[in-house]
Amino acid sequence: MKEDFLKALEFRHACKIFDSAKRISDDDLRFILEAGRLSPSSFGLEHWHFIVVQTQGLKEKLKEACFNQVQLSTCSYAIVIAAKVDALRPGCEYVEARFAKLSDSPEMLNFIRSFYADYYAGIDVRQWSVTQCHIAATNMMSAAAFIGIDSCPIGGFSTPKVMDALGLDREQYDIGLIVPIGYRLNPQPSKNRLAFDKVVEYR
């Protein structure tokens, strides 16, 4: 099992050109999205909203918003991870509903509310939400690789253009990441990573 997971990570690379004639099945797409849905999140707030772009016209609009990166023309789907913003306000309906699932104790809920309000006041909420969305993106890309499906995380985009293409409200959302998925057209390039002892330090 460990070896299978590491093989999947070796298989995964930032695929630049997908085979546009080869489509991902509905079942495999659902599996990948479930890996995102089940991801961990700070305070259990599940900061993400997944928008599955499947029409070629909308993929082309996203391509333009992403500085014409060709991945978006050839992928089966482009998963846009919208990061919640307004819904994360302390005391709002969404936050209260999520916190209600954490404990039945009124005392504990009051503690969580107070702690969260203090935390919220001291952070950049948009940046926090976006980084949480990256957790879900990583899980989806790893899940895709595990079943032989390629992906490419795209963090280079014009946020206003992506928001406009999808009709999203800037007050409600930011853009966490865009993840095209599909099957590679060309052989995988060799993987180049630093050696284990270059990135791991024990103290």
pLDDT digits (tens, 9 = 90+) for 60-104: 999 999 999 999 999 999 999 999 999 999 999 999 999 999 988
Measured CA to CA in angstroms, residue 78 lies from 18, 59, 98, 171 at distances of 12, 7, 28, 23
CB atoms closer than 10 angstroms to residue 135: 17
Q: Residue 1 above 90 pLDDT?
A: no
What pLDDT, on a 0 to 100 scale, did the predictor assign at position 191? 86
Interhelix angle 2-11/125-146, rounded to 10 degrees, is 110
CB atoms closer than 10 angstroms to residue 23: 14
- Count CA within 13 A, CB hemisphere, residue 69: 22
pLDDT digits (tens, 9 = 90+) for 138-181: 999 999 999 999 999 999 999 999 999 999 999 999 999 999 99
DSSP of 23-72: PPPHHHHHHHHHHHHT---GGG---EEEEEE-SHHHHHHHHHHTTT-THH
Alpha helices by DSSP H, listed for the chain, are 2-11, 26-37, 56-65, 71-74, 93-100, 106-121, 125-146, 159-166, 196-199
**Into which CATH architecture does domain 2-90+123-191 fall?**
3-Layer(aba) Sandwich (3.40)
Residue 24 near residue 139 (C-beta atoms within 8 A):
no
What pLDDT, on a 0 to 100 scale, did the predictor assign at position 190? 85
Residues paired with 48 in a beta bridge: 83
CB atoms closer than 10 angstroms to residue 60: 14
Residue spans of the domains in the chain: they are 2-90+123-191
* Global pTM value: 0.94
Mean of the per-residue pLDDT values of the chain: 96
Measure the CA–CA gap between 43 and 128, rounded to whole angstroms. Answer: 12
Residue 100 near residue 106 (C-beta atoms within 8 A):
no
